Amino acid sequence: MRKLILFLIILALFASCKKYLDVNTSPNNPTSVPPGVLLPTTTIAIAFANTNDLDRVTSLLVQHIAGIASQAADYDVYKLEGYFDNAWNFELYNGAINNLLKIIDEHGATSPAYAGVAKLQLAYAFSMLTDLWGDVPYSKAGRGLKFGSSPRFDKQQDIYQGNAADSIQSLFDLVKEGIADLDKPSLLKPGKDDIVYGPDTTTNLAKWKRMGNTLLLKFAMQISNVNPTLAKSTIDAVIAGNNYINSNAVDFDVPFGSSVGNQNPLYTFNNLNRQTDQMLSQRLLNLMRSLNDTVRLGKYFTKPTGNFVAFDNGATVTAPTLASRSKYNTFVTGTTGEAPARLLTFAQVNFILAESALILGTAGDADTYYQAGIKANMQKTGMTTAEIDNYFATNPSVVTLAGTTEQKRNQIITQKYIAWIGNGIEAYNDYRRTGYPVLALANNAAGHNPNVIPTRLTYPLNELSRNPNTPNPVTRTDVKLWWAK
């Protein structure tokens, strides 16, 4: 199935476009595409966007990696203008969102199982956009010319919370609607085309429900600074329902393949196309050494010389030789590109529940969840039971919450930050939301404001030039998002 991904994306995009110049209707030009053709393309489009350019820029901003050359060197010192057109246009809006809406609009009435999965993916895709850029096209986006060629930009608070006066459905309600659809009688159900939880149609929808409820946890934590009441009530309800991701086995991981054209972008960029551009950040290495956590770091990054060789963010000194550099290891990339995009995880769930117990007073013990999150991530990276037990026994001050509420929160988010190596977007979200872990400015910082780690990405040039609804003047990268600390 994955060998057909590029073809399917092209086919789905082609079928999504209304052919206004056609005079006659040809049976060889379908006006409707089966949902089983569209679903793999939307799933891969989201995963590709998460592991491609958007991951590079966010992983550099949170200092998981350091930039050595080309665009990675620009991102490392906050020079963000002129990038992200492909991620915005092809990967998210045209690759994922347009086709998810086609599934919902054309097949929702007869096959709500497909519509339910599509709504969950749609909520995830839109959350990526608004979490990185703030105000984005949302309620009027992805529907061709129905609302004009220049969709309005909705406010981030309306995207998350809804706005009935402007006919904006909240991301929370979109997810709940998707979960409800999964229980309805359905003519067609995802099977082999469900590359995440398929092909077993008797169990995959139950796993999508867990994914949806985990998405509610993620969204609730995201807005906890600005709407703690909604955050708490949402998390309380999800805990009570007890139907969220509860093991590494049901993580929302999107698989890639090992053949050319099907590989994880983290592999192709770092091992094939741009081998010289980025490597392990010295700052992450320093953090992991301070936590005595280099065994786990070795799962994430290589040691070609037998030792970690890192580089400081924004440094202008000569970089280490390519052969000696610590770069992403096979847990992140796969041996030949087959590592999945890890989007929602059991470790993440435990860290969310730890933080919410700490700051919102939701059910459960924060320390218990915290330790479970560390163990879940260590297990996922491939650490042995003996290695995990030894780490817990020899580092009690690291694996036990202590101090003030903020000190405990710092511990939780720092461990979550480590668990998100390979998914810079989520680490970047938590950093902007909490301020943890504490990061120093890159050397030789530039961009809109060299005194601030960017709090958002710059809008793509194509959107600035073609859509008059794009915020004007252009929002600077030091302007915080609505939900940020």
Residue 420: strand, helix, or coil: coil
Q: What is the pLDDT of residue 24?
A: 43
Residue 8 pLDDT > 80: no
Closest CA to 376 of 250, 235, 469: 250
Which residue type does 251 have?
A: D
Q: How far apart are CA 115 and CA 110, in angstroms?
A: 9
Taking all residues of the chain, what is their mean pLDDT, rounded to a whole number? 93
Q: What is the pLDDT of residue 11?
A: 43
DSSP state, 96? Answer: I
Residue 15 pLDDT > 70: no
In this structure, of 25-34, 88-97, 126-135, 203-212, the range with the lowest mean pLDDT score is: 25-34
The percent of the chain in helix, strand and coil, each rounded to the nearest 5, is 55, 5, 40
Q: Based on C-alpha coordinates, what's the Rg of the chain?
A: 22
Q: How far apart are CA 303 and CA 477, in angstroms?
A: 35
CA 454 distance to own-chain centroid = 18
Structure tokens given for 206: 């139950």
Residue 250 pLDDT > 80: yes
Residues 54, 29 contacting (CB under 8 angstroms):
no
Indicate the pLDDT class of residue 10, thresholds 50, 70 and 90. very low
- Percent of the chain topping pLDDT 70: 93
Summarised one tens digit per residue, pLDDT across range 385-399 is 999 999 999 999 999
Q: According to the 3-state scheme, what is the secondary structure of 253-309? A: EECCCCCCCCCCHHHHHHHHHCCCCEEEEHHHHHHHHHCCCHHHHHHHECCCCCCCC
Residue partners of 105: CB distance under 8 A and separation at least 6: none
Structure tokens given for 406: 């903020």
* CA distance readout (Å), 27 to 22, 99, 109: 13, 21, 24
Residues 308, 280 contacting (CB under 8 angstroms):
yes
Residue ranges and CATH numbers for the domains of the chain are: 2-17+31-262+338-466 (1.25.40.390)
Structure tokens given for 339: 């590592």
Q: How far apart are CA 368 and CA 357, in angstroms?
A: 10
Q: Is 173 exposed, middle or buried (0-12, 13-18, 19+ CB in 10 A)?
A: middle
Indicate the pLDDT class of residue 202, thresholds 50, 70 and 90. confident
Summarised one tens digit per residue, pLDDT across range 203-231 is 999 999 999 999 999 999 999 999 999 99
In the chain the first and final C-alpha atoms are separated, in Å, by 43
Its sign, for the CA torsion 430, 432, 436, 442, is: positive
Q: Provide the angle, in degrees to the nearest 10, between the axes of the packed helices 204-222 and 112-133.
A: 30
Residue 341: strand, helix, or coil: strand
Summarised one tens digit per residue, pLDDT across range 52-95 is 999 999 999 999 999 999 999 999 999 999 999 999 999 999 99
* CA distance readout (Å), 148 to 95, 177, 397: 19, 26, 57
Residue 314 pLDDT > 50: yes
Q: How far apart are CA 277 and CA 72, in angstroms?
A: 6
- Phi then psi dihedrals of residue 81, to 5 deg: -70, 140
Q: How far apart are CA 193 and CA 8, in angstroms?
A: 11
Q: What is the pLDDT of residue 201?
A: 87
More confident residue, 237 or 21: 237
Residue 320 pLDDT > 60: yes
Q: How far apart are CA 245 and CA 255, in angstroms?
A: 17
Structure tokens given for 295: 């065994």
More confident residue, 412 or 9: 412
Summarised one tens digit per residue, pLDDT across range 259-300 is 999 999 999 999 999 999 999 999 999 999 999 999 999 999
Summarised one tens digit per residue, pLDDT across range 290-311 is 999 999 999 999 999 999 999 9
Structure tokens given for 290: 């301070």
Residues 67, 278 contacting (CB under 8 angstroms):
yes
- This prediction's pTM: 0.93
Q: How far apart are CA 254 and CA 264, in angstroms?
A: 10
Closest CA to 426 of 413, 438, 439: 413
Closest CA to 422 of 256, 261, 221, 286: 256
Indicate the pLDDT class of residue 146, thresholds 50, 70 and 90. confident
Q: Report the phi/psi class of residue 91: left, alpha or beta, with left for phi > 0 and alpha for psi in -120 to 50.
A: alpha
- For residue 187, the tally of other CB atoms under 10 A from its CB is 11
Residue 23 pLDDT > 50: no
Residues 325, 314 contacting (CB under 8 angstroms):
no
- Percent of the chain topping pLDDT 90: 90
Structure tokens given for 401: 């919450």
Residue 9 pLDDT > 90: no
- For residue 50, the tally of other CB atoms under 10 A from its CB is 27
Indicate the pLDDT class of residue 31, thresholds 50, 70 and 90. low
Summarised one tens digit per residue, pLDDT across range 168-188 is 999 999 999 999 999 999 999
- For residue 461, the tally of other CB atoms under 10 A from its CB is 14
- Average of per-residue pLDDT across 234-243: 98
Residue partners of 379: CB distance under 8 A and separation at least 6: 248, 388
- Average of per-residue pLDDT across 143-164: 89
